[in-house]
Structures are given as C-alpha cells and as structure tokens.
Amino acid sequence: MTKFTVNNQPVEYRMDPATPLLFALRDASNLTGTKYGCGTGHCGACIVHVDGSPKKSCLVPIGSIEGSLVTTIEGLSHDRSHPIQAAFLAENVSQCGFCIPGMVMAAAALLKANPHPSEDDIRSGITNICRCGIYPRLVDAIQRAGRIQRGEETAPTPRPGIDPSDAARVVPALTPAP
Ligand code: FES
C-alpha cells in the first residue's frame, strides 16, 4: 500500500509500488487529464507536480513518492482561474489539446520559479512535445500569464467549463429506431 496526497485528498494505492504514477492517477483515481503520450519521459504529456516540482509521471514509481503532495491538472484550480489556464484560453493555445494538460503543468511550474520569463527562458524551460506546433502561441500565453500574475494585466474572464457531474454522466443506452 502506498500513501500520498493527490489534489489535497489523501489516497492509498493498493498497487505494485513500481506502478508508474501516471497509471495510478489515470486508472485508479480516474484523473484522466494527465495524458499518456510516449511513456518514456520524452513528450511531457504526463507532467504533474510532486511536492511542487514538475515531474513526468510516467517515470515516477508510486513507491518513490510515499507521503508526497501530488497536484494534477484537475487540481491546479477548480475554475480554470490559474493565470496559465486563463492565458492559454485567451491566446487559443490549444489545437488538438492532447498535450495541453502537461504543457499547463510545466508552464505553471516555470512561472512559479521564474515570474518574468523571457522567450528564451520559455523555449528552454518548456521541452514538451506538441505535434500541432503550438509553440509560438505557447510563448505568448506564458508571457501573458506572467503579466497577469504580476498584476500588470487583468485576467480574462474564464469561459464556462463542463460541470463535473455532467462529464461523469452515464450515457443512456441507444434505442433502435422503430
Ligand atoms: Fe511521460 Fe511522454 S508520457 S513523458
């Protein structure tokens, strides 16, 4: 049994301690915002925060983070009000969207460590891979998030999200046409 805290909730995982954190989050905790891209530590789609630092969760065995604090994209904010989330939406960063949760978590950690990142800081600090090629918008969004975080710009109003109860609803069985 491995115990740690996920998004402020204490959790006990009855899984092999060698299980990657990515699979514990997705398969046992149903936190599917964290994505499985490569599984080898290259793409960054699986980035979460462990004790405040960005980690590729596909490379982290749960047994190695006993007692840690894990934050996933679902726990970064409850209303998409984090400056990175607000700026990503305002700058229309997302294209297919698959890599975005990992990008957001990496960008949030970068901005926390460096509140005024230059373009070079962002390009060297965010090594996530995006097959849609969102990189120019990514730089703009992180710099905009920095201005929001520093109080130099008002955060845009978050767009309405999906109600969690709606997202979890059971789809009724299809009935055959008469
Ligand atoms: Fe972890 Fe790609 S899935 S780095």
Query: Tokens 């970064």 appear where?
Result: 76
- What is the C-alpha to C-alpha distance for residues 52 and 75, in angstroms, rounded to an integer? 12
3 state DSSP class of 123: helix
Which ligand 1 atom is at minimum distance from the Cα of 43? 2
- What is the CA(128)–ligand 1 centre distance, in A? 9
Q: Is 43 in the pocket of ligand 1 (CB under 6 A)?
A: yes
Q: Which helix (H) or strand (E) holds 12?
A: strand 9-13
3 state DSSP class of 6: strand
Of 144, 105, 157, 147, the closest CA to residue 127 belongs to: 105
Domains belonging to the chain, first-starting first, are 2-74 (3.10.20.30), 83-149 (1.10.150.120)
- What is the CA(99)–ligand 1 centre distance, in A? 10
Residues in the chain: 178
24-47 per-position pLDDT tens digit:
999 999 999 999 999 999 999 999
pLDDT at residue 160 is higher than 80: no
Which ligand 1 atom is at minimum distance from the Cα of 47? 1
Q: Is 44 in the pocket of ligand 1 (CB under 6 A)?
A: yes
Which ligand 1 atom is at minimum distance from the Cα of 38? 2
**DSSP secondary structure code for residue 132 in this structure:** T
pTM of the model as a whole = 0.88
Query: Tokens 């929001």 appear where?
Result: 148
Confidence band for 176, pLDDT divided at 50, 70 and 90: low
81-127 per-position pLDDT tens digit:
899 999 999 999 999 999 999 999 999 999 999 999 999 999 999 99
Q: Is 42 in the pocket of ligand 1 (CB under 6 A)?
A: yes
> Ligand 1: which of 19, 46, 103 to mutate, judged by most atoms within 8 Å of the beta carbon?
46
